Amino acid sequence: MGQAGSRSALPPRPSGVASRPHQNGLIYPLDLVYARAGLEMPKVSVVAPERIPQPYRSLLVHDTDMTLTLERHFGGRVALRPLSTFTSRRSYFRRVLLVQEYSGHPVEMGAIRMRLDVFSAPLRTKILRNEIPLGRLLRDGKFQYQSRVKSYLRVTPNAEMMGVFWMREPRVLYGRRTEVVHQDTKIGDIVEVLPMVFR
């Protein structure tokens, strides 16, 4: 009786927190990062690319480097702000915020799972420093890879996401989930979510 009572007194799992995020999950690895932190998941659904409004569509539906796309759109370099990092087996996980270098205004939040053993030691060291956006590092390091979009996302942000995006109320945002492929082998997963964009 006492033992059963103590078990029932445990706090319930926060609603929306996935118990076992999986690599085939809709927002993996963002769901894993949030689950580790005990944070509620944002509400996410798949959206067809033609149903994404502008300017989100031009920022998401393309085969170009995302860092370069954001820099062209916002008219200047973006800087990286690490939010959380950890290593599990062969993979390095990080959640980051990309911000305008000249203003600090957020332009993207990304969650990344990347195998480190495929990179040269100098490039691996730069990735682990969490100072430069991944797209710029791979481009400058002439690392050959493909970024394959798995799905486009319609996102209603959770409170934490609203905070990093300076939002006062939840508004629909858009993003995408991609796989990173090197020499026909998947080496990473990325989820990118854009804040509210008006131009």
Answer whether the bond into residue 55 is a cis peptide, omega within 30°: yes
pLDDT, position 64: 81
3-state secondary structure of 108: strand
pLDDT, position 4: 40
Give CA–CA dist 84/48, Å, rounded.
30
Please give the full DSSP string across 37-98, using - where no structure is assigned.
HTPPPPEEEE--GGGSPTTHHHHHSSSS-HHHHHHHHHTS-EEEEEEEEEEETTEEEEEEEE
CB 156 within 8 A of CB 120: no
pLDDT, position 20: 55
Structural domain boundaries in the chain: 29-193
The one-digit pLDDT tens for each residue of the chain (199 residues) are 444 443 333 333 333 434 455 566 899 999 999 999 999 999 999 999 999 999 999 999 998 889 999 999 999 999 999 999 999 888 999 999 999 999 999 999 999 999 999 999 999 999 999 999 999 999 999 999 999 999 999 999 999 999 999 999 989 999 999 999 999 999 999 999 999 998 7
pLDDT, position 67: 92
Q: How many residues does the chain have?
A: 199
pLDDT, position 10: 34
pLDDT, position 98: 97
pLDDT, position 22: 57
**CATH topology for the 29-193 domain:** Chorismate lyase (3.40.1410)
